[in-house]
Amino acid sequence: MSESVAARAAARKEKVLVASQTALAALVDLKNSYYTADADAKAAKLQEASTAVTESLDSELAALPERERDSLAVRAESALVRGRALDAFETFNPEAEELLAKAVKLDSTNVDGWNALGECMWKKGDLVGARNCLESALRQGANKRSHIELSKLLRQIHGGSAEDRATLLQESVTHAKASVQLGFSDPEAWLGLGNAYVTVYFQATRVAADLDRALQAYARAEANGPEIPDVYYGRAQVLRFREDYQGAMANFRRAAELDPSLPGAQEADDIESWLVRVADLVARQGRIKQKRLKQLCAPLCSVKGVAEQGAEAVGVAELITGAAQNEGRAVALKPILPLGEASEVPARYICADRTGAFVVLSLYHLDAKRLSDKDICVVTGPDVVAVSWDQKAGEGGEASAGTGVDGAAADEAAVATAAAAASTDGGAAEAAPKFRSIQVRDPTRLLVNGKPLRAAVAGHLRISASSS
């Protein structure tokens, strides 16, 4: 074939590919950005768009001379387009796998082909095969999609030792970072990095800085836009874990506004109901009769373990809100009521001090399954969070600084802001009850009956399946 004929054939091929890829791009966009609670309605739209891709491809292939239509390049590309159109659904499609495997066999240098085959095999449940395909794509050249999907995939691979798992999770972070470097303004890449750090925290390191990094990545994803529901949903879970309930409710509700299929609104409502219940228990001293309360708290007046640690024994009322604000102090507490399952992270208890003042004790990654009102807990250098929220805070929008883990100023400002809103709004934003929470992340800062608690098995924070 002469050079001019080859050039014309290449141009015609490009014309076919452009038309088909335009229809395919519309299908992919629909799959990734059409949010609805009606799964059947979305499936119908995807089917319509998938059919449009294959019809467009068939039409354009029919217009080609037979010799060009049967060329290696056109056969490879048409198999890829058709396979991706069939693979646009949630369930595994064997025909899609066959077409995509054919595409990479005909053109082993096609990065999109390897990525598509990897995602298809992942749906099939073949994680090893999916990983091999995504790594094959990277061997053809650095690309953002391979890194994003590999980061997700590695977090789904279980088995082996704890060290093996930790290695996989660190590789997941490495791939997520690589995707960000290749697409610094891509919100999906930043979302993946945030989710990777969250998983590393809960399943490997338990280093608070990893959650800080996750929140920073989510903020980058939000700033870069367009809005992705899972950014808000993932961030809401981290904020709830950190007891920034006001921020968590706002993010859960924003996630639900963007994607009605997510249970964000219910999650926010559940948080608010829980807060009201806990605040009521704290205000009513656990609804325990005074005589019984005095009996329970009496042993706290002569608790062992405080003086031995060189700490000043104080009551709840004397504690200062904020992290690292109570060094050199210790508070003795009597667990009164558990709040939820002991296996939850954090495990929370309604507690009373020696004066009968009530507080919530939140234990992070500690084995607190056996805590009861027969135990005595001594917390040294307690980190105290002021929990405050209002009715308007959970209505959507950006996270409030309301009850962050770090800094007394932010906590106190949030409390003041909520109070001011309630007093100047004519009651439109009714001030909600408040309570305080003592957070224990360092096991060396807690003694139960004079002995430390052992570390609990790694906790798990659920992340929306579509962005896991």
Give the model confidence (pLDDT) of 35-44 as tens digits: 999 999 999 9
CB 294 within 8 A of CB 300: no
- Tokens representing 439 are 């957070």
CA 233 to chain centre: 6
Q: Which two tokens stand for residue 235?
A: 């961030």
pLDDT digits (tens, 9 = 90+) for 109-123: 999 999 999 999 999
Residues 6 or more apart in contact with residue 320 via CB below 8 angstroms: 326, 384, 408
Q: Which residues pair with 385 in a beta bridge?
A: 437
Tokens at 17, concatenated: 């590919």
Q: Which residues contact 44 (CB under 8 A, 6 or more apart)?
A: none
DSSP, collapsed to helix, strand or coil, labels residue 179 as helix
Digit-coded pLDDT (tens) for 121-147: 999 999 999 999 999 999 999 999 999
For the chain, what is the total number of helices (H) and then of strands (E)?
Answer: 16, 8
Per-residue pLDDT tens digits for 183-235: 999 999 999 999 999 999 999 999 999 999 999 999 999 999 899 999 999 99
Q: Are strands 435-440 and 329-339 parallel, antiparallel or unpaired?
A: unpaired
The confidence band for 306, taking pLDDT boundaries of 50, 70 and 90, is low
Cα 431 from Cα 427, distance rounded (Å): 8
pTM, two decimal places: 0.85
